Structure 1
C-alpha cells in the first residue's frame, strides 16, 4: 500500500493529489478527467492586486470532477474528513441527485473520501453513499462512520498516480450486472 505522507507531498490537498493523478492518467491515455470550476460572481475586486476580495456562488455546482475512462463516463466528488465520522451534510442534495441521474444514464459516480487523521483514502461507490443518504432521509444517522466504510475499497498510490482510483472504477464495473 502506498502512503501519502512522503516528503514531497506534505501540505498537499486532496484536490492537488487528484489533479496530479488525472494528469498522469491523461499522459498515459487511460482517462480524461476535468476539474469542474465552481462558478462565482465577484462583488469586490482589489484594483491594486486585481484579486477578488468578495464573491458569491452563481449556482449550485454538481461534482468536482467529470470525464471519461476508456469510454466510460465518470463523475466524482472529493471529500476530506478529519474525524472518524463523515457528516452527510458535506454532500448536498443536488449532488446526490446529479450522481443518481448520472448513473441512470450509464455512467459511474463515486466519492473519493480521505480520512486525513488516518491517512487513508477510499473509493465510495455511489450505491454506498446513497444507502447512507437514504438511511438519513428515513430518520437515521446524519453521518456514517469509518467503521461502516468497506475497507476493500481503499485507494492506493501507484508510481505517480497518487490517488489511483481507476482500480476502484474497475471493481465498481466488475460488480455491476
Structure 2
C-alpha cells in the first residue's frame, strides 16, 4: 500500500483505474469529467448511459461510486464518483467527500484492482476548499487502506504544482 501525490494529467496514467469526479448523470461535463470522457472516447458515454438510474437523471448519488471500462484511456477502468457541492461544510459535505474515496476504493477491491488514481474530488466547479478536501481525503484514504483486503497503490493526481504542494502539506501533517 502506498499513497503518492503527483502533478500530472490523470488521463495519461497507466493504472488499473482512474477516478472520475463526475456529476449525477455520469454523462460527461467539464473539468476532470470532461477530460476523462474525451480521453476514453464515445464508448464511455455509451457505458454510462447503460448504467441504471436510481432516480430521474441520477445514475450515481453523491458519495457513491460506479465502475465502467476505461476504453481508450491507459487505465483499464473508470470509477465514477459524485462529490458534494460545498455549501459551507455544515450540510454533511465532509462525510460525503470521505464516502467518495471510501466507495471508490471499495469498488477497486471488489474488482481486484491494485492501482487507482484520484483527482481532487469536488475542488473544481463544486467549490470545496482544497485544504479541507485534502483533510477529508487523507482521513478517509488512510482509514480505508488500513482495512484493505489487499495492498493498493493510490495516486492523488493534480493539474497544478500548487495543488500538489497543498495536499502534500496536509498529508505530511496528518
What is the TM-score with the length of structure 1 in the denominator?
0.36
**Greater relative CO, 1 or 2 (CA 8 Å, sep 6+):** 2
**Which one has the bigger strand percentage?**
1
**Which one has the bigger helix percentage?**
2
